[in-house]
Every structure is written in C-alpha cells, then in structure tokens.
Structure 1
Amino acid sequence: MKDFFRTLAIQRWDDHRYYHHSRINQSLHLLSAVSFVVAYALLFVDPVAAALLAWGVSMTSRQAGHFFFEPNGYDHVNHATHEHKEEIKVGYNLRRKVVLMALWAAAPLVLWFDRSLFGWMTPTVGFEGFMRQVGMLWLVLGAGGLLFRTLHLFFIADVRTGLVWMTKILTDPFHDIMLYWRAPLHLLRGELIDPMHHAAPTLDTTSPSSA
C-alpha cells in the first residue's frame, strides 16, 4: 500500500506541475471539481441526472481549460516539450481526449436521429425523455472510458499503474478543490499563469503523468 500511495502522489504531482499552469484552467478545474462532487452525491439519487451534470458542466469546463487556456509550448518550469509530456502521459492526453469528447458530442446526435439507438434503448417522447436517454448514454460512456483506460494500462504498464490512475481520476474532484480553491483569487489579481515556484526540479521528471 505504501508503494500504491507513493505512485498516486507522483501521478497527482505530475498532473499538477505539467498540465495546470494557467490560472483560468485551474479555476475551471475548481468549477469542475465542485460540480463533480455534487454529481457524486446525485449518483445515489438519480444516476442519469448525475451523468448530465458531470458531462454537461464538469467535463466540459475541465477540458475547456486544457484545450483553450493551458499553454502548450515549451514548459520552462519542467524543462519539457509539449510533445514529450503528451507522449509520457498515463491517462488521456489531448489526442485521446479529442476522441472521448467526440463520442460525448456524438451521443445526442445519434439519439436525435434514432431514439431507439439501433434497438438498444426503449424510445422516449418529449425533450425530458430525450435528455434522460442522453444522460444514460453519457453515464455508460463515462464508466466505459474509465474502465477501458484502466484495463489498457494493465497491459501496457502494469496492474498497479492502472489501479492508481483509476483511483486518481475518481478522487481528483476532492484533490482539485484543495489545490485550486485560490485560483479565482489569483485571476482577480491579474495573474494568468501560475509561476509554479513550488515545483521542485529535483523531483524525478521522467515519471509519467496522468489524467
């Protein structure tokens, strides 16, 4: 268990120091984290509503931060190119995220043209019924995306790496709140980029990153 938590700490640290330099991105991650925590609570009451919140607010705000605001040039803090960071990333790098978000966007379009989803779902009527079908698909997509990459890591890395990454993803909302609750305050002061003075250059920079 000691090695498990050490690997988890490394994945979390790499994720922060490599991919969260932008204060806007950090602030969007705070919004994402809070809405994810609400979605976790909703899972026990209304899983479909939880999926709609998680994908409609949490994932869109989180990925918008990465795609539109996070610098993708040379990382002077960690002395690494964007290409290198993308290559060593444990979880979903930008290329994989494009595929995942494309599937997310395609789900309601497919349902709009075939409310039975090729016979896999019972057709519904009305906008509310349509949205609940979309939420059901997004729930399956979220669980499937998490399990697929976890199992994939079992084969391309090892079981511990996969389990650590899955644990990190599931606990990221709570960890992000602790990390980024001050980010909006920094934005109000006009600081767009985190100077990352706390980033320790002596940490093993070859360790793969996550998320």
Structure 2
Amino acid sequence: MTTAESHNGRRLTARGAKTRARIVSAAADLIYVQGVGATTLDDVLASSGVSKSQLYHHFDGKDALVRAVIDHVGERIIERERTALGHVSTIRGLRRWRDALVQNNALRHGAYGCALGSLAAEVSDHDALGRQALSRLFAEWERLLAGVLGRLQDSGNLPPEASIEHLATGVMAALQGGYLLAQTKRDITPMATSLDMALAHIERLSTD
C-alpha cells in the first residue's frame, strides 16, 4: 500500500492523503513516547483531531496503523542516515556520525531509545508483516554502513579480507544495544562506549 491509497485500495484525494498523514504522524509521536501497547486508537483520535470514521476509512485496525507508523518512522530515519552516511569515506567521518547520534540522544538523556529499535522490540513477536517491514529497514540501514566500509576498503584503509557485511552488522548491534542501555540508565555513556568499541575495532583493522 502506498500513502496515496486507503486500506481498501481506493486512490486518495489530496485531502484524504493529508488526513491519513496526520493520523500516522500523531500515532508515531504517541507510540514513540508511550509505546505500541499503551497507545490506543482513542489516543490517536484525540491527538490527530480526526473522527473515528475517518480513521477507519484509512486503516482497518491498530495493526494496520502501526505498520504505517513503521513505514513513516523508517522513511524518516533512513533518509537521515542516507544524508549522514552517503558520502562518508573515512574513519573520521564515521566518528562524526557517531558523535551526532550520541549528542542527539543526550538531549533526552537516552529516553525512548531508537524509534525504529523500540518498534522492533514491541512489534516483531506479534505481527509478521510489521517484523518484515522492520527487517527491511534495518537491512537498508546496514547497507548504508556497509557502503561506508566498502569505500574504506576501496581506498585501502580496510584490508581486502575484512567482511564488510559482518562489520556493518557489528556496528548496528553496537548502536542498537547502546540505545537500549542508555534508555534504561538514562545516561548516554553506554551508547558512546559501545559505538567507540565498534569503531575502534574498525580502526585497528585499518591500522593493521
């Protein structure tokens, strides 16, 4: 389904698309703070200012709305990461990427964690379609990291035998684990530490 269609497959008018986007944006904001389980459709109605009939015109239930939120949040994060990582080709550039993420998370003292990671924790075991969408988004994020590492390898700053895919997965795991620990401690130090360790490993490979 695209954002130009309702759940019954009918093409939306410009006004209808705007209403749908307002519903999804309101739901995304609520879910980020409250979580999927604690966010009700009544909460979304109150926050978005739409009627129940309007909501059900666009979504046949909460699961469908949550999937739209996954797409909305994922698109925003992947676009941010494309901008941040698209032209990075040095260890220094990777460290600047790390610094920006840590500093942004520090503004909330680690609260709420990664928007995509939080959705994955709540949705993956209960909604196969939602899990598949999240898996695709994380795979795209890892591909962006792998692109950076591939450029390092092409320039001779990583040995040819280094597994770009494995390194990208390791950096992603360090990032998501760091988000989670920072969230529980309300302190971004674990996030900074985990990313530092992952990047230090890449730097050692580069030096070797």
TM-score, normalised relative to structure 2: 0.29
Q: Which has the higher contact order (CA 8 A, sep 6+)?
A: 1
TM-score normalised over the length of structure 1: 0.29
